[in-house]
């Protein structure tokens, strides 16, 4: 047998140590990544709620009583906010933009947005509350209005 004088490369033990270190780093980073992903989903929902309220305020202030959106805003059903188009639609129209938040809590808070609630199959509803004189933003599910 010939004796190898030039021993290049890594031993099996060294490779296993590197794999173990990478596995620990992955195990630590996955929960952090998941929490950040949920925060981003919640931030998207909250930004859409703010945009819906701003859109409703602008529509209401125009006082175009012939507008379908205005009529929907003052009705008991309210107008829907289509997050994909960024526009309010009449209450009878269908929307394509739904919530992103899941039952995980990303730690983001906003009036009318409740942690641990699932918003993925819901859309934003905007109404004008004549009694309080305010625009009310809520979700199509069973969540409380803001």
User: Comparing C-alpha atoms, which of 50, 45, 55 is closest to residue 88?
Assistant: 55
Give me the pLDDT at residue 46, please.
Answer: 92
Secondary element (H or E) of residue 128:
strand 124-129
Q: Please answer whether residues 101 and 109 qualify as being in contact, where contact means their C-beta atoms are separated by less than 8 angstroms.
A: no
Segment 15-35 mean pLDDT: 94
Average pLDDT of the residues of the chain: 87
What pLDDT, in 10s, does the model give residues 114-140?
878 889 889 999 999 888 888 999 998
The rounded distance, in Å, linking the Cα atoms of 120 and 101 is: 6
The rounded distance, in Å, linking the Cα atoms of 40 and 101 is: 9
What pLDDT, in 10s, does the model give residues 83-101?
888 899 988 888 888 999 8
The answer on pLDDT for 4 being more than 70 is no
Which 3 state secondary structure label does DSSP give 142? coil
Give me the pLDDT at residue 5, please.
Answer: 66
The rounded distance, in Å, linking the Cα atoms of 83 and 99 is: 8
**Partners of 125 in the beta sheet?**
80, 138
Q: Please answer whether residues 105 and 115 qualify as being in contact, where contact means their C-beta atoms are separated by less than 8 angstroms.
A: yes
């Amino acid at each position: 047998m010939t004796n190898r004088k030039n021993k290049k490369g890594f031993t099996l033990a060294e490779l296993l140590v590197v794999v173990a270190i990478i596995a620990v780093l992955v195990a630590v980073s996955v929960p952090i990544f998941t929490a950040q992903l949920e925060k981003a989903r919640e931030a998207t929902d909250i930004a859409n709620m703010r945009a819906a309220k701003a859109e409703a305020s602008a529509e209401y202030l125009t006082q175009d009583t012939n507008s379908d959106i205005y009529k929907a805003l003052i009705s008991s059903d309210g107008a829907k906010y289509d997050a994909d188009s960024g526009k309010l639609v009449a209450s009878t129209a269908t929307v394509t933009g739904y919530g992103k938040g899941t039952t995980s809590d990303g730690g983001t808070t906003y009036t009318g947005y409740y942690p641990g609630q699932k918003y993925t199959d819901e859309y934003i509803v905007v109404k004008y509350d004549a009694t309080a004189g305010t625009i009310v933003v809520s979700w199509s599910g069973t969540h409380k209005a803001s």
